[in-house]
Each structure stands twice: as C-alpha cells, then as structure tokens.
Structure 1
C-alpha cells in the first residue's frame, strides 16, 4: 500500500449542480450537514491505508483548498501527504484541464516518483464506502494493467453511465459511454451467472457500469497518456485500451451514488436522514473524516424532530423538522416548519454589530425567522430568511430562474448569501 499514489479529480464547472457550485467546486459542496463531498474519497483512502494523495482542482477551488488544508494534517513521522495540484500553465501545457485524462496527463511528473508502482484515480463527487485494498489485491491477482471498479445496474440506468462487458475471466472486452441504442444495450447485457460467479447477486440487474474508479500500473499510465492526446478516460481512453491492454473489472456491490445533479444530491442527503440510510455514516471501522470545527452542541428547545440530522452549533426553538438535514450553525425561529429540505447552515455566527447593521438596513438576521415554512428545498449557507416566509414548489415547476431563488428538478434552491424579507412567498 506504500507504493500507491491516489489521485482525486476535483471536477469541472459543476454546471448540473449550479447554483450550489456558484461559489465553490463540486467536491466542496456540503454533505450531511457537516461534511464536504471531498471527505468521502479522502476518507476511503485513509481507511484503506493509502496516505499519498493528490487532489486535482481547477474551478472555484478556494473553499476546497481551505477545507483540505484545515482538515487533513500528517505528523512529521509519517510519509503520507495530501497535496493540491491546481491547474496551471507550464512549458508543456498552456491550457486548463480538458478532461479527466488530460488532468492526469498534465501532472504525471508528480506521480513518477521512486518506488511508486500503481496510481489510483478517483472522483471527488461520489458517495460510497470502499476498501481500495480489495481492488488492489484483485488487480495484482489478475495480472491486470488497468482495473476499473464496476457496479451492477438495471437496464434503465444505462443512458447515464459507462457500461462494460466482460469475459469469463473478468477482462473487459467492450465498453460504451452512456449507450442509448437498445441493440447496443442488449449486446452489453450479462446473465445472472456472470454476477454470481463473482459473489454478487444479480437482483434483476443485467448491466455492469463503470464507477469512474481506475487503478493503473504507473508504467502503463505513462505509456497510454503519452501515446494519445485524448482528454477523457471514460469517453476516449478506456474504449481504446481494452483492445490492447489487460483491463479487468472489479465488482463492487455496495451503495454508490454519483452526486452529479441537484436531484441526486437532494435525494442522497435526505436518504442519510432516514431510519435505514443506504450509506452508513456511523461506521467505527471506516469513519468519514472532516474538518473538526470545535462547535458546541446544538441547543434544541420544545421541538418535534423526525427522521432528520441536526448538526453541531445549531439553535432551534419551537420548530418542527421532518425528514431534513440541518447544517452547522443553523438558527431556526419559533413555529418554523422544515420538511423534506436541506438547510446548509452558516460559515460563522453573526456578531451584535452585524445584527445592528441588519436592523438598520431592514435585513433579516442570518438563519430562518419565526413562523416560516420550508418544504422541498435546499437552502445554501449564510442565507437571511425573515418571518412568515413560505417556500414550497406547490405548482411542481421543473425549472425556473428568479431573482433570489432557483428551481432545478422541481427542487427550490436558495443560493448562498441570499436575502428573503419577511412575508416572502415562493
């Protein structure tokens, strides 16, 4: 495990997660009240005894850099590190990252270190728990040059994923990125024996999808990226190398969610607040690490709370909260209802001077005021919501851009730092 470098891709512009990515990169988007998406792959690495980690960043990366720098520190006696590689101009390349493969290509000089044999390439915006040691052992056992972590999926999911086909040994013999042609999907379908042979129950699933997790022999990675100028692993590189390289699939059958859209982000968060969440935040053997903020415990007075997560440092008085995530430093007023919503909280507490300034400008204090009602919404950080505010997409509008809110996938989003005066109705 000491001879492996992990590379976490920070993602592109994150347009499908906008406006949550208006001021931050995708991996920096808050998760489950107190974490960030980047904490998932970093925690998986640390729990798998992988501690040589590079994070490749490009867009809106300031908050991501700050979070990583504060959260992850190694002592002087450890050879581990987490380093950020931001896109920059060099003699070899004058442009930004053009895709996943191009991002890795531009940073190969950092990965070509003495005694490094393997490079593990991960996405920074997925929710799952994996022990990468199992993937690495199977990679070595198969004599693979490249291994791709793959998960069984149903046919209806094919148009959104890269679909693999394997032979009896598990070697990948065909690959299509987001196939929509029914005949192509038919050609990629596997039978139940293909899954059960590897200890996975089919459960009605007939396809094998790439998770965007790649393990390369370093020598092979160098050769592949120098042979071609193609920019993306899933769309360009993988379909080509399966013809000439030993590329194997590693079967994964746990929970996995690609947090690529507002809908997937919303549903994955609320699932974490359910009585039987698909992803377990409470594992002692494989915890999720994050920046220790040293916040006080939340003050909760005369509230009714069901199937919800309440993060640290909140002040909640006489509120009703159902199936929701309440983020750090959230302040909720009296007689407020929060239902099926994600309240991200705040980056800081307002001072008395701030509050006096708010009053002079007739701006509500940061947080959510009295007698307000928020249903089916995502409220980003540092939002000022007054009294008697009603937020609910009762007309089921699919998409809308307004002055101080947006609707995506029928979910109302209040962008970071927005101000909603008292008696506002959305």
Structure 2
C-alpha cells in the first residue's frame, strides 16, 4: 500500500445538503455527534495502511482545512500525510474546479511526480467502512486499468447512481450515469451472478458505482490529458474508457450510504442509535474511525430520561426527555424539554456558566435548547439558540420551505435550524 496515493474529493457547493453547507464544505459536516464526514475516508485509508492522502477542496473549506490540520499529524519519521489541495487559479488554468476529473487534472503536475503505482480516488460524503487494500489487490490481480467499487441497488434509488453491466470476468462492458426511464430499465441485470441470493437479486437488480476508483497511475494521467473537455469521472471519464481499457468492477458487500442529501444524512445519523446492532457501527476495535481529540469533560445527565440515543462529549442534559436522537458536543438541553427523532449538532464552544441564567445576559437567549421546548424530527445545527417553550415540530407537515430570515429551512419534511440561529421564546415551527 506504500505504492498507492489517495485523493479524496471534497465536493462542490453541496447544494443537496444545504443549509448544513451554508458555512462549511460538505465533508466538514458533523456526523454521529463528534465526527465529521471527512473522517470516514481518511480513517479507511489509515486502517488500510494508505498514508499518502490529498484532499481536494474548493467551497467553504476553512473549517475542513482546520479540522484536517488539527487531527491528522503523522510521525515526522514516516512518509504519511493528509494535505489539503485547494482550488487555485493559475495563468494556465484561470478557472475553478469544473468537476471531479477536472479537480484532479488541475493538480496532475504535482500528482504525477509521486513514485506510486496507483491513484485511489475517493468521495468525502459517504458512510462506510472499507479495507482499500483488498480493493487495490483485486485491481492488481485482474491487471485492470481502472477498477470501480460497486454495490447492488434497488429500483427506487438506481437513477441516482452510475449503473453498469459486467461480463463473467467482472469487466465493465456498459456504463450509464444516472439513467432515467427506458435507459434505466435497460441497465437491469441478474445480480445473482455477484453472489446474491435470488430474492436479493430480485430486490436489487442494478449494479451501481460507489464513486470510488483505483486507476493505474499512467492510465489516469493519459485519460485526463487526452480528454481535456471531460470534467467528471462518473459522467464522462469512466463511461468513455470502458471500451478501450480494462475497467473492472469490485463488489463491496458491507454497509454503504451516500449521505449527500438532507434526508439521507438525517436517516443515516439516527440509524446509528438502532438496537441491538446498527447497520454501521463506530464500535470496531480493528478499524476505528478517527477524529480530532478535543479533551472535553464527560457528559452530565441530571434527572434526564434518555432512550435509544447517542450523547456526545461535554453535554449537560437537565430534567429532560430524549429519545431516538443524536446529541452533539457541548450541547445543553434545559429542563422540561422533549427531544425526539432529532439530530442536535451541539456547539463549537462553551458560554460562561453565568450565561445559563437569562437575567445575566440582559435578555439574550443562551446557547442550547431552552426550558420547555420540544424538538421533533429536526436537525439543529451548531451554536443555535433555541428559546423557552419553542415548538420545532413541523406542525403543518410542510415538505419544503426556505425561511432563512427566521433561521430555518424544511427539507423533505425535516426542519433544519441554521447554524448560529436564534429562535425566540414561544415560536412554533
């Protein structure tokens, strides 16, 4: 694995995850109360003994850069590094990144100087645990030019992915990015050839790309240099290379979730609270997920009733009821609150203890969830100040709304309270 260089794509504006991406890049969004999305691919690389890691960023990348620099510091006696390559304008390339392939192309001059055999291309907004060494070994064993990691998917979600057909050797013979209608039906295959049972194959009749690729070094350089008009791996580079190159499919049989939308992000976070065993678990001693060490105190629960929930470090929950929720770092929940099916992202810092008393703040609403408030089926972003007796319950069952002036959005029926928002006492959302 010392002969592999990993490139993690930080993504663009992250419009599908807006408003969580209003102030931060998509990979910097909080996950499971204490992690960030970028921790998943970086940790997978470290656990796979791939220690040369670049992260390509372009949009709102300040918090992502800060997190990476504070978290991943390898020994000075090793070759390991996690470095950010930000979009930049040069005389030869005056434009910003135009797509996934274009982002890598802009830094080819530096990447090709590395004495490596393969480039591993990863995405920054997926939730999964994967040993990339098995992926790379399969790539080498089949003498592939390109290998895609694939999963079988259902009819319901198939049109959101790049779909493919493969032959008996695993070689990709047809690839179509996000097909619709008749084009989608034509991409149906018998996935039992991948080892699925007949029932599973009937339920998941499509082979989808995970957006994870291994390229032979020279093959990637050639593809990017020869096809300067092609800016995206999934839409252009991969489909157009299937005819002339040995493009192989590698079946990934573990849990994998693309959490690039508000609904998928919300569901994936709350799924972590499942009993007895969630589909994805952070309790894996052999392949831990790393994140920044914050040295926070343990959480304090004062007469709180908590069921099927995750509580992050440094929280104070007082005489409240919390069920099926994820509570992030430094979160304060005051008495008589009800938190159900909610994701509270916590806070970036503590306010002085005196600020928990309203009269000491001259009427200012303190950070956290105020007394008597109800938060149900909602995401509350960091540093939000929720007043007393607030109802965040989507009372009218609205699917979509944009009320930035009032500090919230509704996406797929999920209320999203903005970062740093102030919700006044008694407000009903």
TM-score, L = length of structure 1: 0.96
> Is the contact between residue 358 and residue 364 of structure 1 (CA under 8 Å) also seen in structure 2?
no
Residue correspondence of structure 1 range 201-216 to structure 2 within 5 A: 202=201, 204-216=203-215
TM-score, L = length of structure 2: 0.96
Residue correspondence of structure 1 range 95-244 to structure 2 within 5 A: 95-182=95-182, 184-196=183-195, 202=201, 204-229=203-228, 230-244=230-244
User: Secondary structure of the residue that 1:341 maps to in structure 2?
Assistant: strand
User: Secondary structure of the residue that 1:397 maps to in structure 2?
Assistant: coil
The alpha carbon displacement at 1:369 in A equals 1.1
User: Secondary structure of the residue that 1:340 maps to in structure 2?
Assistant: strand
Match of 1:410 among 410, 413, 424: 413
> Is the contact between residue 388 and residue 426 of structure 2 (CA under 8 Å) also seen in structure 1?
yes
The alpha carbon displacement at 1:301 in A equals 1.3
Distance 1:109 1:305 in 2: 54
The alpha carbon displacement at 1:185 in A equals 2.9
Match of 1:294 in 2: 295
The alpha carbon displacement at 1:325 in A equals 0.4
Match of 2:394 in 1: 393
The alpha carbon displacement at 1:193 in A equals 3.8
The answer to whether structure 1 residue 422 and structure 2 residue 425 are counterparts is yes
- Residue by residue over 1:39-70, the C-alpha shift from the partner in whole angstroms, topping out at 9 and shown as x without a partner, is 00000000000000000000000000000000
Residue correspondence of structure 1 range 63-74 to structure 2 within 5 A: 63-74=63-74
Distance 2:211 2:422 in 1: 38
Distance 1:107 1:160 in 2: 28
The answer to whether structure 1 residue 373 and structure 2 residue 374 are counterparts is yes
Q: 1:28 to 1:114 in 2, by over 3 A?
A: closer
> Is the contact between residue 324 and residue 342 of structure 1 (CA under 8 Å) also seen in structure 2?
yes
> Any runs of at least 4 consecutive aligned residues in structure 1 with deviations exceeding 3 A, and if so which?
200-203, 352-361
> Is the contact between residue 5 and residue 119 of structure 1 (CA under 8 Å) also seen in structure 2?
yes
- Residue by residue over 1:281-307, the C-alpha shift from the partner in whole angstroms, topping out at 9 and shown as x without a partner, is 100011000001000100111111111
> Is the contact between residue 363 and residue 419 of structure 1 (CA under 8 Å) also seen in structure 2?
no
Distance 1:168 1:258 in 2: 28
- Residue by residue over 1:13-59, the C-alpha shift from the partner in whole angstroms, topping out at 9 and shown as x without a partner, is 01111110000000000000000000000000000000000000000
The alpha carbon displacement at 1:192 in A equals 4.3
Distance 1:180 1:111 in 2: 36
Match of 1:28 in 2: 28
Q: 1:192 to 1:76 in 2, by over 3 A?
A: closer
- Residue by residue over 1:122-180, the C-alpha shift from the partner in whole angstroms, topping out at 9 and shown as x without a partner, is 00011011000111010011110000000011122221111011011100010111111
Distance 2:196 2:309 in 1: 39
> Is the contact between residue 195 and residue 201 of structure 1 (CA under 8 Å) also seen in structure 2?
no
> Is the contact between residue 354 and residue 360 of structure 2 (CA under 8 Å) also seen in structure 1?
no
Distance 2:269 2:359 in 1: 31
User: Secondary structure of the residue that 1:222 maps to in structure 2?
Assistant: helix
- Residue by residue over 1:54-93, the C-alpha shift from the partner in whole angstroms, topping out at 9 and shown as x without a partner, is 0000000000000000011011111111110000112321
- Residue by residue over 1:319-371, the C-alpha shift from the partner in whole angstroms, topping out at 9 and shown as x without a partner, is 11010000000011011110000000000001257668985552211111111
- In the alignment, structure 2 segments of 5+ residues that lack a partner are none
> Is the contact between residue 149 and residue 251 of structure 1 (CA under 8 Å) also seen in structure 2?
yes
Query: What is the CA RMSD across the aligned residues, in angstroms?
Result: 1.8
Q: 1:386 to 1:44 in 2, by over 3 A?
A: same
Distance 1:292 1:387 in 2: 33
User: Secondary structure of the residue that 1:350 maps to in structure 2?
Assistant: coil
The alpha carbon displacement at 1:114 in A equals 4.3
Distance 2:12 2:399 in 1: 24
- In the alignment, structure 1 segments of 5+ residues that lack a partner are none
